[in-house]
């Protein structure tokens, strides 16, 4: 069984940086995708991007347009845990952040309908 566990959440100062980790285990194949999502209070869950264990058209990471330039991921899933870094943080980034396994890599990995397994989430609160 696949298991994913987020850690590193808590309070982050506006203008500062966020670092989250996702420990994963239990994949039955060497071809898999790990995705990051977040959900702010009163809003829909948003896909941030994903990482693939094997290249797709020479790419191993895919990042949503709305966070491009602020978010980076571990680019090689040979390293565990996966690391998400986000900077600079602002008040709109307050949310629960999730890692998950996805059936797809690329734009579809931003869609929660294609998630196979969820982590339990890590709350991030941005303060001024």
Per mean pLDDT, which range of 35-39, 46-50, 74-78 is the poorest?
74-78
Average pLDDT over residues 97-114: 97
Cα 99 from Cα 121, distance rounded (Å):
7
What digits encode the pLDDT tens for the residues 53-73?
988 888 899 999 999 999 999
Work out the average pLDDT over 9-27: 96
Closest-CA residue to 53 (of 91, 71, 80): 80
What pLDDT score does 76 carry? 65
Q: Are 26 and 74 in contact (CB under 8 A)?
A: no
Average pLDDT, the chain: 94
The average pLDDT across 119-127 equals 97
State residue 78's pLDDT score: 66
Task: Specify whether the CB–CB gap between 16 and 87 falls below 8 A.
Answer: yes
């Amino acid at each position: 069984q696949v298991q994913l566990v987020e850690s590193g959440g808590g309070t982050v100062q506006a203008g500062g940086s966020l670092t989250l980790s996702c420990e994963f285990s239990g994949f039955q194949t060497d071809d898999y995708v790990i995705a990051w999502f977040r959900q702010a209070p009163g809003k829909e869950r948003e896909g941030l991007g994903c990482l693939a264990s094997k290249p797709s058209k020479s790419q191993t990471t895919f990042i949503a347009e709305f966070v491009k330039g602020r978010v980076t991921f571990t680019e090689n899933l040979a390293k565990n845990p996966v690391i998400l870094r986000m900077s600079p943080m602002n008040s709109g980034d307050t949310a629960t952040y999730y890692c998950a396994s996805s059936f797809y890599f690329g734009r579809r990995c931003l869609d929660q309908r294609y998630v196979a397994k969820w982590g339990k989430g890590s709350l991030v609160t941005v303060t001024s």
